[in-house]
Amino acid sequence: MTTNDSGRRNFLMQALAAGSAVLLAGCDRLSRTEWFPQMLASAEKLSQGAQRLVTARKSMAQEFTEADLSPTFRSNGTANPDSPTYQALATKGFAAYRLAVSGLVENPRSFSLAELRALPGRTQITRHDCVEGWSAIGKWKGAQLSALLDAVQPKPEARYVVFHCADPMDEIGTKYYESIDMDDARHPQTLLAYELNDQRLPIANGAPIRLRVERQLGYKMAKYVMAIEFVSRFDHIAGGKGGYWEDRGYEWYAGI
């Protein structure tokens, strides 16, 4: 390695370290400054590349035992969506809930909760890491997203899965949303979860359906999922960065 190479490497390592330190500092405060989104955008390119080098995308997230479960799994972000449509569903125990699946698929259709429960599923005890600096270990049960893919048959042009949520985030009704790529969509631990710690998923944690995508940070795990859309790009959706927090400067690939 030449002197130049190692100088460049040190620079990269420092940039990566700075990126992760800032990530621990919190959702709201930093995203409003101008330099923060820009720095995250460049840190994302570095960390995504680094992640691809060191971790195969197919690797499994660590799983834990019942003894490791957190006494309570806290709620973060929206705890009860402020939307008449959602409240009407919740009042009737989500009996009328249907998950609409659209976009670049051969068989667009919707799923009732019973139909989602009937899909091949998985139970897993994993650790959830939020960028605000807390973690919790919980037991999740849900349909494997790969099973839903088998049912709807994504077209070859489909590159991303977008999750549209019920919760308005501001007065003008901007809704939470998220997206993942097809590698994560087909990963065995990627679930449309309907149970937390052997109970029906509580409203505070995303009832009736929330995404688990275990090798990424908490904000990727969309709660209150109402619709799923398969797309080839997401620059036309909301702020164009692939998620509610991404539109406010967070990195799209939030690998841990």
Ligand X SMILES: Nc1nc2c(c(=O)[nH]1)N[C@H]1C(S)=C(S)[C@@H](COP(=O)(O)O)O[C@H]1N2
Q: Does 218 bind ligand X (CB under 6 A)?
A: yes
Q: Which of 97, 111, 140, 219 binds Mo ion (CB under 5 A)?
A: 219
The C-alpha angle 97, 151, 117, rounded to 5 degrees, equals 45
Residue-by-residue DSSP string for 120-152: -EEEEEEEEE-TTS-EEEEEEEEEEHHHHHHHH
Among all residues, whose Cβ is closest to ligand X? 77
- Stretches 109-117, 161-169, 177-185, 214-222: which one binds Mo ion (CB under 5 A)? 214-222
Residue 214 touches which member of Mo ion, ligand X, none, C-beta under 5-8 Å by kind = none
Bridge-based pairing of strands 175-181 and 199-200 is unpaired
> Which is nearer to ligand X, 47 or 78 (by Cβ)?
78
Shortest Cβ 56–ligand X spacing (Å): 25
List of residues 6+ apart from 216 with CB closer than 8 A: 180, 184, 253, 254, 255, 256
Q: Does 218 bind Mo ion (CB under 5 A)?
A: yes
For the chain, first and last CA: distance in Å? 29
Shortest Cβ 20–ligand X spacing (Å): 16
Q: Does 222 bind ligand X (CB under 6 A)?
A: yes
Residue 165 touches which member of Mo ion, ligand X, none, C-beta under 5-8 Å by kind = ligand X
36, two tokens: 């923060």
Size of residue set near ligand X by CB under 6 A:
17
Q: Which residue matches tokens 């349909």?
A: 143
Shortest Cβ 138–Mo ion spacing (Å): 14
164 beta partners: 177, 227
Q: Which of 78, 83, 179, 197 binds ligand X (CB under 6 A)?
A: 78
Q: Which residue matches tokens 């790009």?
A: 233
Interacting residues with Mo ion between 146 and 185 (CB under 5 A): none
Q: What's the Cα-to-Cα distance from 181 to each of 160, 163, 227, 253, 256, rounded to whole Å?
A: 4, 12, 16, 9, 16
Interacting residues with ligand X between 187 and 206 (CB under 6 A): 205-206
Chain positions contacting ligand X, by CB under 6 A: 74-78, 130, 165, 167, 176, 205-206, 218-219, 221-224
